[in-house]
Amino acid sequence: MNVPVDVPVEQPSLTWDGGGVLAVDQRALPGETRVLRLETVDDVVEAIRSLAIRGAPAIGLAGALGVALSAYRHRLDGVVDEAAVRADAARLSSARPTAVNLAWAVKRAIGRLAAGPDAVLAEATAMLDEDAAVNGAAVARACELVLSRVPRRPMRLLTHCNTGRLATAAVGTALGVIIELGRRGLVHEVLVDETRPLLQGARLTAWELGQASVPYRVCVDSAAPAAMAQGLVDCVLVGADRIAANGDVANKIGTYGLAIAAARHGIPFVVVAPESTWDRALADGSGIVIEERDPAEVTAFAGVVTTPADAGAYNPAFDVTPADLITAIVSEDQVFLPAAVQAVQVAQGSPPQAATDRGARSGVTA
Ligand SMILES: CSC[C@@H](O)[C@@H](O)C(=O)COP(=O)(O)O
């Protein structure tokens, strides 16, 4: 993996660069803006596993570009070894299990394999372009929703993890909404959960907000409910890694607790994610595989061990927020209102389904 340094801060998170993938190394920010050049499928898999590339849409796009790398590598005398490329695609797909965008994007790229490596690359780069357009549409829709649900001007927002342009090809999802509202002068302050253990909020979201000149403060994750209780939060905005058909949402660990606290305080809790994050094959969130990561992410901080040497750690990377705690899930195509689904069920005489036992999406949208 070749590592050029000192690239401009405007560098897109991912680009194709004639035979390689350029990826902003999200492990190095905010201290250093470093770009990795990934030339093999192994490089891409390692970048995804190590969170050099992270965020559901970004890892999907990296997976698709990885399939293109594989298709070129396994072409001999104009003939592609399809079995070898499919084996690489399977490795890419399973580099991280929770975000459905990864398997979705790899599948889409491999679908062009019969037409040759150039077609696979064209599909992957089209997906990069689409990502920007899709996120732009979701952001516009979500801005309208937030403006309609939050009366205070300027507003105080809270977010978790990083859902900005680093986590996508461009624009971002929930953070894209916050930055757009900030650009319109409508944001008093953003509280940014630091997002233990890998600090995507403190490192990446804070960096993106600073770049966009949107006022923010970082808080420890456990301060968020207290901030809500003190009236410091008008709306919570987060992204998603996988959304089941009924609207249950898997996202960065800590999201579920935020949703409970927001419900307790009557604060809108809004999820912004592209349609590619929906997994309608899953009736509800109980079927979502939650990635469990290395205990060392918890037992050490900045390379220094902080626990007794033999301490174990529970380190799920994601949790599942039940749909009934979510005000709205906004994509480029729809505003899905889980609470409205429940209201319809109650009005029709059937009791709202329990968090662990819900049926298929009813399609109530606004
Ligand atoms: C637009 S990104 C949405 C999600 O992928 C994001 O909130 C998140 O949970 C990312 O987790 P990460 O482990 O950093 O890849």
Q: Which domains does the chain have, with CATH numbers?
A: 14-130 (1.20.120.420), 136-347 (3.40.50.10470)
Give the angle 136-271-123 at the CA atoms, nearest 5°: 45
Task: Summarize pLDDT for 6-46 with one digit per residue, the tens.
Answer: 455 578 999 999 999 999 999 999 999 999 999 999 999 99
Six-digit token pair at 17? 């660069």
Taking 90 as the threshold, does the pLDDT of residue 306 lie above it?
yes
* φ, ψ of residue 202 in degrees (nearest 5): -65, -35
- Rounded alpha-carbon distances, angstroms, from residue 255 to 18, 81, 223: 39, 43, 13
Q: What is the largest CA-CA distance in the chain?
A: 67
Give the length of the chain.
Answer: 366
Task: Summarize pLDDT for 228-282 with one digit per residue, the tens.
Answer: 999 999 999 999 999 999 999 999 999 999 999 999 999 999 999 999 999 999 9
Q: Is 164 in the pocket of ligand 1 (CB under 6 A)?
A: no
Which stretch of 105-119, 246-260, 330-344 has the lowest confidence by average pLDDT? 330-344
Q: Is 277 in the pocket of ligand 1 (CB under 6 A)?
A: no
Q: Is 96 annotated as a binding residue?
A: yes
Taking 90 as the threshold, does the pLDDT of residue 359 lie above it?
no
Q: Around Cβ 151, how many Cβ atoms within 10 Å?
A: 8
Mean pLDDT score, 56-61: 98
* φ, ψ of residue 158 in degrees (nearest 5): -135, 140
Taking 80 as the threshold, does the pLDDT of residue 198 lie above it?
yes
Torsion sign (Cα): 189, 187, 334, 366: positive
Q: Is 134 helix (H, G, I), strand (E, B) or coil?
A: helix
Q: Is 161 in the pocket of ligand 1 (CB under 6 A)?
A: yes
From atom 10 of ligand 1, which residue's Cα is the shortest distance away? 55
Task: Summarize pLDDT for 74-103 with one digit per residue, the tens.
Answer: 999 999 999 999 999 999 999 999 999 999
| pTM higher than the cut 0.90 | yes
Pocket test for ligand 1, best of 14, 50, 54 (most atoms within 8 A of CB): 54
* φ, ψ of residue 118 in degrees (nearest 5): -60, -35
CA 150 from chain center: how many Å? 24
Distance 212 CA to ligand 1 centre (A): 20
Q: Is the ipTM of this complex over 0.95?
A: yes
What proportion of the chain, given as a percentage, has pLDDT over 90? 89
Torsion sign (Cα): 294, 296, 301, 302: negative
Q: Are 73 and 27 in contact (CB under 8 A)?
A: no
Taking 50 as the threshold, does the pLDDT of residue 217 lie above it?
yes
> Ramachandran region of residue 49, left (φ > 0), alpha (ψ -120 to 50) or beta?
alpha
Pocket test for ligand 1, best of 252, 288, 291, 293 (most atoms within 8 A of CB): 252
Q: Is 115 annotated as a binding residue?
A: no
CA–CA separation, 64 and 41 (whole Å):
11
Pocket test for ligand 1, best of 135, 161, 205 (most atoms within 8 A of CB): 161
- The question of whether 319 is a catalytic residue gets the answer no
Six-digit token pair at 151? 């009366």
- Residues 6 or more apart whose CB falls under 8 angstroms from that of 181 comprise 143, 146, 147, 155, 157, 187
CA–CA separation, 99 and 240 (whole Å):
8
- Residues 6 or more apart whose CB falls under 8 angstroms from that of 169 comprise 12, 13, 14, 57, 58, 61, 127, 128, 129, 131, 132, 135
**Where are the extended beta strands (E) located within the chain?**
14-16, 21-24, 35-38, 75-76, 79-80, 155-159, 187-193, 216-219, 235-238, 242-244, 249-252, 269-272, 278-279, 300-301, 304-305, 318-321, 328-330, 335-336
CA–CA separation, 134 and 129 (whole Å):
9
Q: Is 317 in the pocket of ligand 1 (CB under 6 A)?
A: yes
Q: Is 110 in the pocket of ligand 1 (CB under 6 A)?
A: no
Atom of ligand 1 nearest to the CA of 160: 7
DSSP code of residue 164: S
Q: Is 56 annotated as a binding residue?
A: yes
> Please, is 314 exposed, middle or buried when counting C-beta atoms within 10 Å of its C-beta (0-12, 13-18, 19+)?
exposed
